[in-house]
Chain A
Amino acid sequence: MKTFAEILQDAYRQVPDQVILHLLYNQKPAEHLTYRTLLQGAAGYTRLLQDSGVEAGDVVVLILQHGSDLIYAFFGAVLHGAIPAIMPFLTEKLSPEQYRKSLTALFEITRPAAVITYPEFQAEVQRANVHNQVRSVLVSSQVTPYGELEESWTDFHGLKRSVDDIVLLQHSSGTTGLQKGVALSHRAVFNQLQAYSAALHLNQDDVIVSWLPLYHDMGLIAGFLMPVLNRIPLALLSPFDWVRAPYRLFKAVSDYYGTLSWMPNFAYNFCAAKIRPRDLEGVDLSTWRAVINCSEPMYWNSHQVFLERFAPYGLKEQALATCYAMAENVFAVSQGGIDEPVTVDRIDSHAFVSRQLALPAAGDGPSVPMLSAGRPIANTRVKVIDDKGRELPERHIGEIAIQSDCMLTGYFNRPDLTEKAFLDGWYLTGDLGYLANGEVYITGRKKDLIIVGGKNVYPQDLERLAGETPGVHAGRVVAFGVFNPETGTEDIVVVAESEEDLTDQPEKAQAIANEIRRRVTQGSDVALRFVEVVGRNWLLKTSSGKIARAANREKYLEQIRAQETAQS
């Protein structure tokens, strides 16, 4: 088996003129990178890291936006044998203070040797470096392009790495997510790519089109490394541009004859609802052989609205596909909809809710259409276990556990968290689901994690931010997600107890709610849909005195239903 750097060296020598990456922008013309341009651009960053005393095996954090700098810096770190970790860039609505706090938290755990960012952001990063864990804050403008590489390969330490060394780190967002840098080896990534490429029948006619951020596993692996390391062309848009103009994805598929794309469930609803017909004029989607729904719960209805909206432009029904994935397995666990249409399993609602069983619905009784996430890819085994760790039979709902040859090396510098994540050699995913006829179905989550728009959000992070709001009773805040069928993802709800009784002062309660909204958005980059300020002792606690999220969610929904009944 080869390492990342060796695979890139092969491509540079064998197919230097192949265009591998089309970087699309909304305000300037696209850039088309060949392997020669890509590797020479990357080598500029390798030299910067060498000159700065960064060593092989050191972590390099990249805080750069969509564009060639980010791509070059990533592979430049790889060629140097350093470990790149891509972080989201500060957005205009996130407060710089909160962003700095999360960077400080990241630096403390990860202890990167260097950060690479833009010159105008250097001072900001330096301010976050309060304990001087980061040795150098480097900027993209220091990089000079590299010429021919043949003379220089011996200087690149990346070519001396072993396949079991860590090649990259991948983080989820938020203070909690930043504690868990998923460390992946070259071997794990290539084992995943081999098994996953086979499941997709990836071939030289494929073109991948993606708007996904590279700091997320779906974007990093499916929408970046898989194509670039496999010599499959990639057209890459910025998530920032896509969310303002979702039609650009369809235009890119049409312009570059795209065959494969990945998106979280909400994007199906979002695209179907928010594109003007005039922006789709002349668009042809007939080359799209798989649009893969992944990274948040998948809904049959989201596929239907997407198909209805885009079938007139050539979208084929059999292109709708599904996937179950997680960073800890590099990416995919299972894949559906490639060899046969995605199975829709209609299960009995009553047995599902009351007996934790997924029984095929009989006749015309109440049922839930479950979308299959397909079969496990060849290198990954899946089982469903009960809360004592015992394996459950088919159609029993329990926690999904997985085993593979592409698991994470560990959570970086957190052996304690790594150990807790496994039980007898099986990784415990925290997802609930069942198996039927060898296919995987995901029904919910064991952990109190909120997934909004494909992004993992830890409720404790939001509760901490909301709890700092003046007027809120300290520690008496709960955050949870409620599925919204219209958007295809979860709405985030925050319920907070006020310090004083505000029954007669609705304006004051409203002012506190506004302030909670502002603080949470600026502190986490997550927008709240509903903020409810309630009186003392509204929230339910567990026997150990902790706020019970699930019970409070139920109480809140109960109250909403009662209000709706009263109104009608």
Chain B
Amino acid sequence: MTQDIQATLSQFIASQILKQPSRQISPTEPLISSGLIDSFSLVDLSLFVDDTFGVRIDDTELNADTFDTLNELTELIRERQA
């Protein structure tokens, strides 16, 4: 389950946000604080999470304090789905 969420997120980020479909994203790689995902793309990510996993991330939570890595985002999704 965790694996599936991570793979889905990773694929979305690589192909839709970074436009590098073959790019591997490590589960512990910083995404927001590193600038890999810019502020214009954060809202795309939150819309995708909402549509795909039925989990709402409020706009006030779209920062590196809430999640910065695939691991952290996956955990947040799992917690809210429970």
CB distance from A490 to the nearest CB of B (A): 12
Contact with A along B29-72 (1 / 0, CB 8 A): 00011111011111110110010000000011011100000000
Bitwise interface map of A from 480 to 524 toward B, beta carbon under 8 Å scored 1, else 0: 000000010000000000000000000000100000011001100
Interface check A270, CB cutoff 8 A: yes
For the complex, count residues of B whose C-beta is within 8 A of A: 22
Partner of B59, one of A91, A245, A517, A521: A245
When the two chains form the complex, which single residue of B19, B23, B32, B60 contacts A92, counting CB atoms closer than 8 Å?
Answer: B32
**CB nearest to B29 among chain A residues:** A514
Q: Which of A241, A243, A530 sits near B40, CB closer than 8 Å?
A: A243
Tell me which of B32, B35, B50, B60 contacts A26 (CB under 8 A).
B60
Contacts of A561 in B (CB 8 A): none
Q: Is A112 interfacial (CB-CB < 8 Å)? A: no
Residues of B with C-beta under 8 A to A527 = 35, 38, 40-41
Interface assignment of A276: CB less than 8 Å from any CB of chain B: yes
A201 in the interface (beta carbon within 8 A): no
B39 to chain A, nearest CB (A): 5
Chain A residues near B42 (CB, 8 Å)?
Answer: 243-244
How near does chain B come to A539, taking the closest CB pair, in angstroms?
Answer: 21
Min Cβ gap A556→B in Å is 14
- Name the residue of chain B whose CB is nearest to the CB of A519: B35
Closest B residue, CB atoms, query A279: B59
Task: Answer whether A510 and B23 are a contact pair too, CB < 8 Å, given A92-B64, A453-B40, A527-B40.
Answer: yes
A244 with B38: in contact, given A26-B60, A530-B19 (CB under 8 Å)?
Answer: no
Count of A residues near B, CB < 8 Å? Answer: 27
Q: Is A522 in contact with B62, judged by CB distance below 8 angstroms?
A: no
A522 and B39 contact, CB distance less than 8 A: no
A274 vs B48: C-alpha distance in the bound complex, in angstroms?
11
A93 on the B face (CB < 8 A)? yes
Please report which residues of chain A, range 243-275, place their CB below 8 angstroms from some CB of chain B when the two chains form the complex: 243-246, 248, 270, 274
In the assembled complex, the Cα of A238 lies from the Cα of B19 at a distance in Å of 28
Verify B43–A274 contact, CB threshold 8 A: yes
B19, B33, B34: residue with the most chain A Cβ atoms closer than 10 Å: B34
Instruction: Report chain A residues within 8 Å CB of B50.
Output: 276
A427 to chain B, nearest CB (A): 32
A2 at the interface (CB under 8 A from B): no
Q: For residue B34, which residues in chain A have a CB less than 8 angstroms away from its CB?
A: 93, 518, 521-522
> At the interface, yes or no: A541 with Cβ under 8 Å from chain B?
no
A274 in contact with B47 (CB, 8 Å): yes
A102 to chain B, nearest CB (A): 16
CA distance A92 to B63 in the complex (A): 8
Which of B40, B41, B60, B64 gathers most chain A CB within 10 Å? B40
A27 touches B35 (CB 8 A): no
Asked if A13 is at the interface of the complex by the 8 Å CB criterion, the answer is no
Please state if B39 and A243 are interface contacts (CB–CB under 8 Å): yes
A529 at the interface (CB under 8 A from B): yes
Which residues from chain A contact B36 at a C-beta distance below 8 Å? 517-518, 521
Closest to A94 in B: B35
- With both beta carbons as reference points, the residue of chain A lying nearest to B33 in the complex is identified as A92
13 cross-chain CB contacts under 8 A? A91-B39, A93-B34, A93-B38, A241-B59, A243-B40, A243-B42, A244-B62, A245-B59, A246-B43, A274-B43, A274-B44, A510-B23, A527-B41
